[in-house]
Amino acid sequence: MANIAQVWFRPFVWIDYRLAVLFTVIIPLILLIWAFVQKADGIQRLLSIYWKVSSLLAITIYLMIGGFGVSFISGLMARILIPISLWFWVDLNDEIEYQSTGPLKLIFTSWRWAMTVYCILGTVAFAPFLGCAFSASAFKSSYCQVWLEAPLMFKEYFHANSKPAFLGFLAIISLVIYVLYLSYFVLIKLGKQGRSSVQQ
């Protein structure tokens, strides 16, 4: 890991993590509180779905802390699933579209488009690192390890007394639950409710 500082794209990885904090945590949290205060039901429901789907990003961070290569697969999947979750629901799209114009709707719509573009570009940029998930030697290289810098720093700030193996174990359990729920939704619930966010 001593050569990580020499990886040419290291600054871009850190920029990506900073943008992720802004776009995936700070802004949607502010929007959720704002929507709750203004009783914007459609935006509230869509953001609730977003938080459920984007929890895969949090799982990915803890998988990286634990040193699991599967984190590169979950990270890529999160970037694919998030924009889908933001645009998939026909009833919520219509409800938000016909909502009276105001600052909340404007900022939410701007964030939704910005988030979509960010995830698409992130998917393209992150795809070449998918090999880190399938090769132990590649995973240990500075090419892959550079992605673990920010998660390990996060661990030092918020879980200084916890062992990486324990946090990684919790992440694996969370990933299994996430995959089971996603499979249940795709195989069973999707056929019943289609693109409606309201369960039938």
Q: CA separation (Å) from 146 to 33, 100, 150, 197?
A: 34, 45, 8, 38
Three-state SS for 198? coil
List the pLDDT tens digit at each of the 200 positions of the chain: 447 768 899 999 999 999 999 999 999 999 999 999 999 999 999 999 999 999 999 999 999 999 999 999 999 999 999 999 999 999 999 999 888 789 999 999 999 999 999 999 999 999 999 999 999 999 999 999 999 999 999 999 999 999 999 999 999 999 999 999 999 999 998 888 888 877 64
Decide if 116 contacts 83 (C-beta within 8 A).
yes
Per-residue tokens: 10: 């290291």
Question: Cα–Cα distance between 192 and 61 in angstroms, integer?
Answer: 33
User: What CA–CA distance (Å, rounded) separates 33 from 35?
Assistant: 6
Long-range contacts of 160-168, Cβ-Cβ distance < 8 Å, separation of 24 or more = 164/65, 164/66, 164/67, 165/66, 167/62, 167/65, 167/66, 168/62, 168/63, 168/65, 168/66, 168/67, 168/68
pTM over 0.75: yes
